[in-house]
Structure 1
Amino acid sequence: MNNNQLDTKPHYQLLDGLRGVAAIIVVFFHLTEPLASSHLDNVVNHGYLAVDFFFLLSGFVIGYAYDDRWDQLTIGGFLRRRFERLQPLVVLGMTLGAIGFYFTDSTIWPLIHTVPAWKLIIVMLIGWTILPIPLSMDIRGWQEMHPLNSVGWSLFFEYIANMLYALGLRKLSNKALACFVVLAGAVLLHFAVTNPNGDVTGGWTLNVEQMRVGITRTLFPFFAGLLLSRVSRPASIKHAFLWCSLLVAVVLFMPRIGGANHLWMNGLYEAFCIIIVFPLIVYIGASGVVRSWTEEKICKFLGDLSYPLYMTHYVLVYFYVAWVSNHKGITLGQAWPYALLTFSGAIVLAYASLKLYDEPARAWLRKKLK
């Protein structure tokens, strides 16, 4: 079966819209993060949980789109389709990050001035593959596996989840998958409440500890989403997009729980959100119906913008973080014009990336990789 035939299933428009809502909140999170005195007082304190929400959405959508098509689809065909969807913006994000690298001049990244051009180019080329770089190739000083585009780490684990699904876990019965999800959820819960940071952050460094964090954050939500796509029977819920958007915002904007003295309480909150609240949001979103032309257009715009926004916004955030670090003690009240300018630029960059690059690149790849 060709790509056009495999693309006949309708999209969950509300889920597309929710992905866009979460992506916008991620940008807010990254704009407020450098203004916080610690991880305890960020204005968008749980913004990083959007990544876990994306994993769950991805598992749900992939299960819905592909679970009943494996009699007409090969593993190579599936992975090729995921490559077409994900890789163009991976390449663009790394390229833009490389172009802007030397211009993010700041004391926060002293390594920048010592990086020769050949090393930058090698890091960029490795980044194009989404494979992580070792710590010996770190050119920014944040110990990231993708120092030219911080968010690349989550795409690395997205690919891992996709490959695990294609190579075998898709064959699990619902009961076996449920057992796997329960076990993954127990591991996630244990990690969340025992982590010395009191949260689930991490996964962006190529070492044993952080790889464990990344796998832990990926396995439960992705395969819980897959299970949900199999067993849920959507009802008809009115105003689902509004309610789900509010729920996503409440979860991600919730202030830190437990403070510095009861870190496990915050971990428990985050585990509860990932294990219970996010599946509930996806279920409600999948049960909703677009009831107006305006709502349909909003969901489509947000859905189309979500992935480009996620994959390109940090290119501008690097400049913003450098500016904040060069103005020690600046407050949100003083920084908001620059934050708003960065946010607006991120929206414009994402839309331009979508229309001028991502959509044409995917169309070209679809023809070449048939």
Structure 2
Amino acid sequence: MNSQTTIFKDTKQHFEILDGLRGVAAIIVVLFHILEIFSNGDHTKQLLNHGYLAVDFFFMLSGFVIAHAYDDRWNSMNLKSFFQRRIIRLQPMIISGMTLGALLFYFSDAANLFPIVHNTPVWKVILIMILGWFLIPVPLSMDIRGWQEMYPLNGPAWSLFFEYIANILYALVLRKLNNKVLTVLTLIAGGLLIHLAFTSSSGDIIGGWSLSVEQLHIGFARLLFPFLAGILLCRTGLKKTISGNFFVCAFLLIAVLVFPRLGGHSDLWMNSLYDIIAIVIVFPIILLLGANSTHKPTTTLKLSKFLGDLSYPLYITHFPIVYVFYAWVINHNITLENAWPTAIAVLLISIITAYVALQYFDIPIRKWLTKKILHSKTK
């Protein structure tokens, strides 16, 4: 598979190890979502318990990569060009994920889980799909699934909503700030994140997927600290003072994301503290280890590139498939012991779907748009 660095020559060289870590985190997210149905909504019973923290790791990676790619380009790049680049990078797979969600919507019919799927007319599904193509969030009154998601055809797209907000903040404000001011903002954002964690009624920072005031608060708190910290780490942390390799970084990341729940229902503060330590301390260490890693063009590098290329397509296309899996589990009263072969199949189908979407939709569309919109300006 051609790497995206050779196809899209307009971008800087990637940190391949960080790309690979993004892929590892995306796979953990898929497994987390597959297993979530067996917890019956009880966060303490969730297997691979802290997989939700992958989103916070993604936000930190995003801040790091955005700063690396664009901080020194603003003498030759305007706002329009920046937003064109970001839309070209993100939007094709959003369209893929929403379309897949619409195609599989009625296959996820499960009255006890998704109470309004059965009675949702086709025209409304199409309308929600079109809104989703443009990442326009759905208000609670337009929900078509019953979970109050801002993107009921593809729930994880909520993090892309906040990703776009982060990109806007970077382009309009954050790129202009010196490191001292950015440090102060990062500390304030860290305080908001700590407040969220220790006031959460569930003892974690899970949430952000709805247009309700509570969920928007969670989403912004989860976004701001890791994204700002990622920018700061890029500007100050590339000193080659520490180094690691892909497998060390991947092991640390997996360990954080699959660590068992702490405290149960009685000592919620224990799991809240774990979330904060993971985001504020461990994720920056993993990121710097990965960014400062030295590697050679070996199988490890190829694996990192493959996982990196697959990560975003996998993240943004897997949940429509998981919705169908959920419906099967609920409608047939399937236990985890009996569901694991199908669960493995769901993981494999999700990976194959993501790879096909990458190869035959995302890469061709982005290559065409890059040539049409960006490269044409230089002629």
Matched, 1:241 2:239: no
SS in 2 for 1:113: coil
The letter of the residue matching 2:341 is P
Aligned to 1:87: 91
Task: Report if aligned partners of 2:243, 2:289 keep a CA contact under 8 Å in 1.
Answer: no
Partner of 1:113: 118
**Separation in 2, partners of 1:94, 1:72:** 34
Structure 1 residue 124 corresponds to structure 2 residue 125? no
- 1:18 aligned to 1, 11, 21, which one? 21
SS in 1 for 2:45: coil
For the pair 1:134 / 2:167, whether they are aligned, the reply is no
Shift of 1:362: 0.5
Is 1:31 aligned to 2:13, yes or no?
no
Comparing 123-132 with 283-292, greater Cα deviation is found at: 283-292
**Superposition pairs for residues 132-171 of structure 1, below 5 Å?**
132-171=137-176
Distance 1:65 1:181 in 2: 20
Give the drift of 1:74: 0.6
Q: Could you tell me which amino acid in structure 2 is paired with residue 154 of structure 1?
A: S
Instruction: Tell me which moved more, 283-292 or 217-226.
Output: 283-292
1:65 paired residue number: 69
Given that 1:320 and 1:342 are in contact with CA atoms closer than 8 Å, whether structure 2 keeps it comes out as: yes
The DSSP-based 3-state class of the residue aligned with 2:51 is coil
- 8 Å Cα contact 2:310-2:358 kept in structure 1: yes
Distance 2:133 2:247 in 1: 37
Mapped partners of 2:89, 2:71: distance in 1: 18
Mapped contact 2:329–2:335 kept (Cα < 8 A): no
Who is 1:342 aligned against?
A: 346
Once the two structures are TM-superposed, the CA of residue 236 in structure 1 deviates from its matched residue by 6.6
Mapped partners of 2:243, 2:281: distance in 1:
21
* TM-score, length basis structure 2: 0.94
Give 1:192's aligned residue.
197
In 2, Cα distance between the equivalents of 1:21 and 1:67? Answer: 27
Counterpart contact for 1:236–1:288, Cα < 8 Å: no
2:224 is aligned to 219
Note the C-alpha offset of 1:247.
0.9
What is the CA–CA distance in structure 2 between the aligned matches of 1:332 and 1:4, rounded to whole Å?
A: 43
Corresponding residue for 1:97?
101
Residue 220 and residue 238 in structure 1: after superposition, are their counterparts in 2 closer, same or farther (change >3 A)? closer
Shift of 1:110: 2.5
Query: For residue 321 of structure 1, what is the aligned residue in structure 2?
Result: 326
The structural deviation recorded for 1:6 is: 4.3
2-side partners of 1:194 and 1:105: how far apart? 35
> Partners in 1 of 2:8 and 2:208 — Cα distance?
36
Offset at residue 243 of structure 1 (A): 1.2
- Supply the distance in 1 between the matched residues of 2:366 and 2:63 (Cα, whole angstroms): 21
CA distance in 2, matches of 1:294, 1:5: 23
Using the alignment, how far apart are the partners of 1:319 and 1:112 within structure 2?
A: 12
Distance, in Å, in 1 between the alignment partners of 2:99 and 2:157 is 12
How far apart are the structure 1 equivalents of 2:9 and 2:27? 32
How is 1:197-212 mapped onto 2 (pairs within 5 angstroms)? 197-212=202-217
**Equivalent residue runs for 1:236-315 within 5 Å:** 239-315=244-320
Are 2:8 and 2:370, in contact at CA under 8 Å, matched by a contact in 1? no
Asked whether the equivalents of residues 234 and 283 of structure 1 are also in contact (C-alpha less than 8 Å), the reply is: no
* Conserved? CA contact 1:13–1:290, under 8 Å: no
8 Å contact 1:236–1:289 — kept in the other structure? Answer: no
- Inter-partner Cα distance in structure 2 for 1:249 and 1:327: 32
Kindly report the root-mean-square deviation, in angstroms, between the aligned alpha carbons of the 2 structures. Answer: 1.4
Q: Are the equivalent residues in 2 in contact too, given 1:88–1:361 (CA < 8 A)?
A: yes
Alpha-carbon distance in 2 for matches of 1:314, 1:77: 31
**Any idea what SS the aligned residue of 1:40 has?**
helix
Question: Which region of structure 1 is more displaced relative to structure 2, 111-120 or 222-231?
Answer: 111-120
Partner of 1:355: 359
Equivalent pair of 2:17/2:246 in contact (CA under 8 Å): yes
2:44 & 2:31 partners in 1: Cα distance? 16
**1:206–1:290 CA distance, 2 compared to 1 (3 A):** same
Tell me, yes or no, if the aligned pair for 2:246 and 2:290 is still in contact at 8 Å. Answer: yes
Q: CA deviation at 1:5?
A: 6.9
Task: Name the CA distance, whole Å, in 2 between partners of 1:238 and 1:32.
Answer: 34
Where 2:104 maps in the other structure, the secondary structure is helix
1:291 CA drift (Å): 3.3
Aligned-partner Cα distance in 1 for 2:57–2:181: 23
Letter in 2 for 1:257: L
